[in-house]
Structure 1
């Protein structure tokens, strides 16, 4: 048992600041208050206590090819099966891949991340390699798998269903690349099987303008519309919405994930974050491909904070931005797989303690903090 004392706590899903102490016992927050003190006391002297980060979208297998292919198009870089990353993954040695993924996970831990949602290539073997790479690291990977049988204009649906069912025995869900690579029959099958097994279904949508144009020309519907109508739990990117795409998502049960730095690196556009927030959406924030970006959520937060100011010529609300990296997952914990919690009594103790630089606790984290400014990372029973 220990007490974090004298900190500014960002409490609950809305991250409301309060000057309180936190008592932790056996990995859970058992009491909070101004005067509570039990067990060992850790005096953080006015530091900011924030829920630990969840990286809402990442391709951690790309850790083996950092910065390769810079300047190529989106398709040349990441479109399966012949993108730069897919060729590299196909030729990678297992030990090399495990080592590179482990290094990236430690990078995430030291920068305050305790959970991440990964789009994992390589079928069942790919999922198992990531599980092995995460052993002994205080981080929780939520692994969404895929299989090569998903792709093509005329896939064998029996083969696809078998592949999905086998994957779901080892993965937390299924995540095909996008509607440019799969048919809607495959999409419906994936969603159906994931729902049946209480697992996550996710897909990239509207990452580029060309993706959207091609989808509308072929089917009369945007990729975002297809994602919603086919019932995917999680839609990633939404960078180039058309017409009422965002309203459609906001009225559905689908969860949005945005990756501003990756979109910028690939020259595909700026996600409409302020518009999403104005519609009442609660998106997640992700760093996307490790080949493009470091998996550091602090860098993603600062970049997003300033990019939105330039794009909209208006400010994004800092507390809403920080929620995208922390407690928004609590609002729609997809199929209860992620199990990420806010700082409340009874919840798991998963939070990061940042050195204080300013009177605004949200900007203290989003605008000022670096990895070196993290004093403690509390992850259930682990203190880093």
Structure 2
């Protein structure tokens, strides 16, 4: 049994409570309001809802390039670098990225892993020595589902994915797909596949939002990557009005996988509240992946980030939720509890 004390961001509203949090056998046993001398801030651990960690072998290789030049299959910089990568070098680069995420409060990522079974097993190998369990959306043909947790499609304009969608249905695993990143032309075809997750939706219009709401399809948004590639800004406030929205950092070659940076950027660029952003970075991703964490309440898995509320950065804050979203950084992380 372990006790944590300080300001605890409790429940789905992240209500700040001064008190004590009791962890027993990996679960939150109790959250008690009581006087606490500690200045720590305790929040749910992050779930990065969209990554491409294979791109760890190509950091900054796409600076200044268009979307197609940077990431479009099969001839982009990304795919040429992946094809040329030695397996040992690929695994080592991915492991560095996973270790960084774990140290900075992210306990899992929903990763679109290229290169089929080879890519998925490389990611498993990279994660094995770490306390990090990635949720892998595999690629190529149905056989990848023997080693992946689901299937991740590049986009409905790139290929036909009906067979892969049907395979996911037979196996009872999720099917995810990019949609609405360069333009809106692939959104309706993506929704027609009845996906379990849509990624980006930068160019979503009302007709798309209505279909998403009708089918309760969650969406992962990646604001910094969209800006880096110059494809526009997702209508995040409108998306939140229609469905579950989670936050991801996207390609490692474009941005570091920092949920702190992603939250701060989202809070300052979009018409959303700090609580909405924190929910996108924690609860929403956990729900999409079927994890019993993302909310601090009894019975949940104890996946927590402890920040030093008395750091030079966070001391004297008037609102801990706003500080976590807009101001906190990796330097403020005291520990990650899993």
With the shorter chain as reference, the TM-score category is over 0.9
Q: Which runs of 5+ in 1 are unaligned?
A: 37-42, 148-162, 216-222, 309-314, 380-384
> Does residue 195 in structure 1 map to residue 158 in structure 2?
no
**Distance in 2, Cα, partners of 1:322 & 1:281:** 16
Q: Which has the larger radius of gyration?
A: 1
Aligned-partner SS, 1:168: helix
Matched, 1:97 2:53: no
- Structure 2: runs of 5+ lacking an equivalent: none
* Superposed counterparts of 1:1-384, under 5 Å: 1-5=1-5, 7-35=6-34, 45-147=38-140, 163-164=141-142, 166-183=143-160, 186=161, 188-209=162-183, 212=184, 215=185, 223-277=186-240, 279-308=241-270, 315-330=271-286, 332-334=287-289, 336=290, 338-356=291-309, 357=314, 358-379=317-338
Determine the C-alpha separation between the residues in 1 that align with 2:242 and 2:296: 22
* 1:306, distance to aligned residue in structure 2 (A): 1.1
Stretch moving more, 27-36 or 65-74: 27-36
Aligned length: 332
Aligned residues of 2:56 and 2:252 also touching (Cα < 8 A)? yes
How far, CA to CA, are the matches of 2:53 and 2:288 in structure 1?
21
What is the CA distance between 1:254 and its match in structure 2?
A: 1.2
TM-score (norm 2): 0.94
1:329 Cα shift? 3.1
Return closer, same or farther for 1:49/1:280 CA change in 2, 3 Å cut-off: farther
Question: What TM-score, normalized by structure 1, do the two folds share?
Answer: 0.83
Distance 1:8 1:124 in 2: 44
Alpha-carbon spacing, 1:21–1:103, altered in 2? closer, same or farther (3 Å):
same
